[in-house]
Amino acid sequence: MNDARVTLAHGSGGMAMTRLIRSLFLETFADPELARLEDAARLQLAEGRPAFTTDAFVVDPPFFPGGDIGRLAVCGTVNDLAVAGARPAYLSCAFILEEGLALADLARVARSMKTSADEAGVRIVCGDTKVVPRGAADRLFVTTAGVGVIPPGIELGGDRIRPGDRILVSGPLGDHGAAVLDARGELGLTHDIASDCQPLNRLTAALLAAVPVRAMRDPTRGGLAAVLNEWAGACGREIVVDEAAVPVREAVQGLCELLGLDPFYLACEGRLVAAVPEAAATDALACLRADPAGREAALVGEVSEAGTAQVVLRTVFGGQRLLDRPEGEPLPRIC
């Protein structure tokens, strides 16, 4: 099926759709609950509070160094559950396909979803496929939803952050956003930046087991700036970030300088930001660094006593400036 393409019949509810679903999705995802092809999948959940999340993925291009739209969709949903303190367990996936999409590309995305789901230890148990005519969508969009369980005793939230708390990031910022921009090729650049796209649920489980955590987020759209501004608003305190302490790869910094972008606003898809009590900061950093997904973790800031809900950056030049909420950043379709 090397030059086979998606046709409208693949979305019509008929035999063509059944064949596509059986030969491609059922075979690749290889899950007994999915294979029942019933209207709803039946789940078994561990003790605790069920958690539920969803994300639509429209990234352009759908394949980029370090990942693709399928890996992004699985990791994005797994990570939303993970940073909420949940153990991700089940995923749904809904495809919107443009007529004419190469079936080989769809198969590649499906395989990538399966690999990523296995890596995260989650099951893809239900799905849907719609096909729209040529020109009514751009290649393929993937929407995943996820169900997980928050173990008893876990309580997280920006409103739990206290003065003196420390802010950590699990690795360099902006690799994902920069990789996608770079992969578009329009820039005439070749930085060979790879996306950081990866599941974070083992890292979050380890961190939650090791230290008391106030809040966790994954800095996707809007980057670190968006997360910290939300937290400053939620806890009503000033958050101070030490620019020199924030890990940013040289290639990402270079691309940002060329394009007039700020890595603090670039999306990551495999990093987390955590706020922990001062006394737990050293252990938290060690815990993150002990996992391959957090090897380059860093302590980047702290929560001040000041009751102004804002984020202040202590610059490498010794000055300071406000790290504003992102307004309308010029980076559509990086996720």
Residues 156-175, interacting with a second copy (CB under 8 A)? 157
Cis amide linkage into residue 61, ω under 30° from 0: yes
Reading the block at residue 84, the tokens are 């909420």
Nearer to a second copy, 14 or 307 (CB): 14
266: left (phi over 0), alpha (psi -120 to 50) or beta: beta
User: Residues in contact with a second copy, total (CB under 8 A)?
Assistant: 84
Which residues are CB-neighbours of 64 under 8 A, at least 6 positions away? 179, 180, 182, 183, 195
Distance (Å, rounded) from C-alpha 169 to C-alpha 207?
12
Distance (Å, rounded) from C-alpha 335 to C-alpha 331?
10
Distance (Å, rounded) from C-alpha 157 to C-alpha 179?
30
- Closest contact distance (angstroms) between CB of 64 and a second copy is 17
- Asked if 179 touches a second copy (CB under 8 A), the answer is no
Q: Which residues ranging from 218 to 247 are in contact with a second copy (CB under 8 A)?
A: 218, 220-223, 226, 230
- Asked if 141 touches a second copy (CB under 8 A), the answer is yes
* Nearest partner of 321 among 241, 253, 245, judged by Cα: 241
Task: Mark 94-113 with x for binding to a second copy (rule: CB under 8 A) and - for no binding.
Answer: xxx-----------------
Reading the block at residue 107, the tokens are 């198969």
- Asked if 306 touches a second copy (CB under 8 A), the answer is no
- Asked if 304 touches a second copy (CB under 8 A), the answer is no
- Closest contact distance (angstroms) between CB of 218 and a second copy is 7
Q: Which residues ranging from 259 to 298 are in contact with a second copy (CB under 8 A)?
A: 267
- Closest contact distance (angstroms) between CB of 305 and a second copy is 26
Of 2, 3, 15, 260, the one binding a second copy by CB under 8 A? 15
